[in-house]
Each structure stands twice: as structure tokens, then as C-alpha cells.
Amino acid sequence: DIVMTQSPEYLTVSLGERATINCKSSQSVLYSSNNKNYLAWYQQKPGQPPKLLFYWASTRESGVPDRFSGSGSGTDFTLTISRMQAEDVAVYFCHQYYSTPLTFGQGTRVEI
């Protein structure tokens, strides 16, 4: 199974400042035949289901503000919020869909 490890578990950021969340997979999720990283990022607010932010590691889902960015390849990935807003308070999860069992990181709670 591919283990997804996020860091940090908790992150406190001031309004307008940058937030950086890391995700590391126990094996590469880069599929060589199409050069795509099978890595997604989700945002979850209290009482809500996860919301898709990025897929293929860096492709922003429609409607996601451009202050959010995803990067990385192979085993190391990053989600960045360039200028933290109050509405960005949430738990963020990375997710590999390279192989079954599909697995998620344990989550990073981001607060103001």
C-alpha cells in the first residue's frame, strides 16, 4: 500500500501570509507512460465533505481561487496558499490514486 504522510499536522497562519503543506508518498505516484502524477488535494471544512482542489498534482479544479497552487512530482508534493484568507480555514488532505488501495494523507489542519 502507498502510505501518504503530510506535514505539518497543524499550521497556524496569519491573514495574508503564505501557508505551505507537504505530502510525501512512500513510493512514486508518477506514471511514466503519461508523465502524470496521480495525486489530488482536497479541502474539508467542518460538517462538509471533502472538496477537490487539485488533480494530477497541479491542475486546479474549476472554481478554486488562484491563491491555491499545487506542485511536486514523484514522491514529494506541496499545496500552497499564497495569501491566507479566513475562508481557507480547513483540513487539507492529499490523496494518491496511482494504485489500489487508494490512500489519503492524515490531513493538515490550517487555522488563523
Q: Total residues contacting another protein (rule CB under 8 A)?
A: 23
Q: Which of 68, 77, 92, 93 binds another protein (CB under 8 A)?
A: 93
Q: What values do phi and psi take at 57, rounded to 5?
A: 70, -35
61 binds another protein (CB under 8 A): yes
Residue 100 touching another protein (CB under 8 A): yes
Q: Residue 60 and residue 69: Cα distance in Å, rounded?
A: 7
Instruction: Tell me which of 40, 81, 84, 110 binds another protein, using CB under 8 A.
Output: 40
Q: Which region, judged by CB under 8 A, interacts with another protein, from 18-26, 66-74, 76-84, 96-104?
A: 96-104
Torsions phi, psi for 108 (to 5 deg): -125, 120
Q: In the numeric block, which cell numbers belong to residue 106?
A: 492524515
Q: CA–CA distance from 66 to each of 40, 93, 112 (Å)?
A: 16, 18, 19
Binding site for another protein (CB under 8 A): 31, 38, 40, 48-52, 55, 61, 93, 95, 97-107
